[in-house]
Amino acid sequence: MSGKPPRTSTVARKSADRRRTGKATSRRADASKSPGRGHRPPVLLSGGNPQIAKAYGDAPVQAYIAAMPGWKSNLGRRLDALIERTVPGVCKAVKWNSPFYGVEGQGWFLSFHCFTKYVKVAFFRGALLHSAPPGTSKHKSVRYLDIHEADPLDEAQFAAWVLQASELPGEHM
């Protein structure tokens, strides 16, 4: 004997799994567990917002940005790069199908979300920013910046808002 367990066929393993768990397994379920196999692109919700599972870190944010439709993906990469450059070590997550940016111990300060014709950037304490973003909210402290395809992005102003926002107490992480 070699000390190795005997090899079993896929059919035999699945049959044993069914007996043990009472659940059927499928090729599709097995394929979805391995990266690159059975991978389906994220579903786009109404307005073209990518549906990405809640997760923390850069990878889910990059998956969200890659799934943003059309010109919005390039804008997402630009916003992400500006935020990273302005706030080194920024914390990232995808929550409620939107990327969130924050500072450890201070909370989330910014998020963005795809809509049909624009991307909405939310500054959670935007009302406290010098030269606050133009879009108001039903929440007194939140301010929005709506970016349409043809709109120029004032990177200096955006970076100034990001820096100010990152220095304020944010939403709970």
Higher-pLDDT residue of 48 and 166 is 166
Strand residues in 19-95 grouped as ranges (E):
55-56, 91-95
Residue 138 reports pLDDT greater than 50 = yes
pTM of the model: 0.75
CB under 8 A, 24+ apart: contacts of 97-101? 97/45, 97/49, 97/50, 97/51, 97/52, 97/64, 98/49, 98/64, 99/60, 99/61, 99/64, 99/65, 101/166
Residue 54 reports pLDDT greater than 60 = yes
Q: What percent of the chain has pLDDT over 90?
A: 67
- What is the identity of the amino acid at 132? A
Residue 96 CB partners (closer than 8 Å, separation 6+): 54
The pLDDT of residue 44: 77
- Domain locations in the chain as residue ranges: 1-40, 46-166
Residue 21 reports pLDDT greater than 50 = no
Residue 39 reports pLDDT greater than 80 = no
Determine the topology of domain 46-166 in CATH.
Aspartate Aminotransferase, domain 1 (3.90.1150)
Contact 143, 88 (CB under 8 A): no
Residue 2 reports pLDDT greater than 50 = no
At residue 11 the predicted structure's pLDDT band, cuts being 50, 70 and 90, is very low
The pLDDT of residue 33: 39
- Distances 152 to 66, 70, 138 between C-alpha atoms, Å: 21, 17, 26
